[in-house]
Amino acid sequence: MKVLVPVKRVIDYNVKVRVKSDGSGVDLANVKMSMNPFDEIAVEEAIRLKEAGKAEEVVAVSIGVKQSQETLRTALAMGADRAILIVAADDVHTDIEPLAVAKILKAVIDEEAPGLVLCGKQAIDNDMNATGQMLAALTGWSQGTFASELDIEGDSATVTREVDGGLQTIKIKMPAIVSVDLRLNEPRYASLPNIMKAKKKPLDEKTAADYGVDTAPRLEIVKTSEPETRKAGEIVGSVDELVAKLKEAGAL
């Protein structure tokens, strides 16, 4: 079985996000970028499937600016076998919307014929949480979202889903699209030998036009703003004082 893992280049989770002064989005110039953490979990899971003998090949794919190549190299350094870069934007501030990404991925699936797509449940930049689901709709494949456990046996997969208030276990038919959640695994560090090998692994470069997909945005971003700053708290001396303050604030 071949596993396809879409990975997105996003602002690094350690970077303090700054909104552009005109409110048109987040400033990404000269900011550290890295692989979407949920996608890292997906890459890790794919590599584990390969190590367990349940997958033969792990193919990472990224859609975005040319620099997404670095993100793919990271996937290769973690242990993916090869990578496909689909250049769909010149400007780092151009975000390709989930539907366009899903359409391109559908075309990649038609070409590559994987038995499983493992993707992050969402990217930490826009938190859309849509690509996996849209891809399942376009392909007509089964979908298992928010996976915290995945077990593949023959032509079916058991997926434990993190749903509101608990876990739900479902059994789905392969091929499938599985979107992964935080607790599925702990991604490994790229090993030094794999880092050195990453450059020798194949990385194909294509464009969105090669797949005939129009990536023009369908959504208009009206405004981006900083979250409201938290107001300073207050330290109280006793439970009585706390109760009094809560009453004062109308919370009790």
- How many residues bind another protein (CB under 8 A)? The answer is 18
CA distance 176 to 84: 20
Cβ distance to another protein smaller for residue 173 or 199: 199
Residues 56-95, one symbol each (x = binds another protein by CB under 8 A, - = not), give: --------------x--xx--x------------------
For the bound state, the minimum distance from the C-beta of residue 73 to another protein, rounded and expressed in Å, comes to 6
Nearest approach in angstroms of CB 239 to another protein is 27
What Rg, from alpha-carbon coordinates, does the chain have?
Answer: 21
Which of these, 183, 173, 175, lies nearest to 147 by C-alpha position? 183
What distance in Å separates the CA atoms of residue 194 and residue 185, rounded to the nearest whole number?
A: 20
For residue 244 the two structure tokens come to 């009094």
| Minimum CB distance to another protein smaller for 2 or for 73 | 73
Q: Is 227 in the site for another protein (CB under 8 A)?
A: no
Pick the closer one to another protein by CB: 70 or 111. Answer: 70
8 lines the binding site for another protein (CB under 8 A): no
Using CB under 8 A, pick the residue from 198, 206, 208, 213 that binds another protein. Answer: 198
Check residue 232 for interaction with another protein (CB under 8 A). no
Over the window 141 to 180, marking each residue x when it contacts another protein by CB under 8 A and - when it does not, the resulting string is ----------------------------------------
Which residue of 53, 154, 166, 193 would you call a contact of another protein, by CB under 8 A? 193
Tell me which stretch binds another protein (CB under 8 A): 45-53, 79-87, 184-192, 211-219. 184-192
**Residues present in the chain in total:** 252
CB of 8 to another protein, least distance (A): 17
The residue within the footprint of another protein, chosen from 191, 202, 219, 236 (CB under 8 A), is: 191
Site string for another protein, 12-41 (x = CB under 8 A): --x-x-----------------x-------
**In this structure, which amino acid lies at residue 193?**
P
> In the complex, which residues of this chain contact another protein (CB under 8 A)?
14, 16, 34, 70, 73-74, 77, 188-196, 198-199
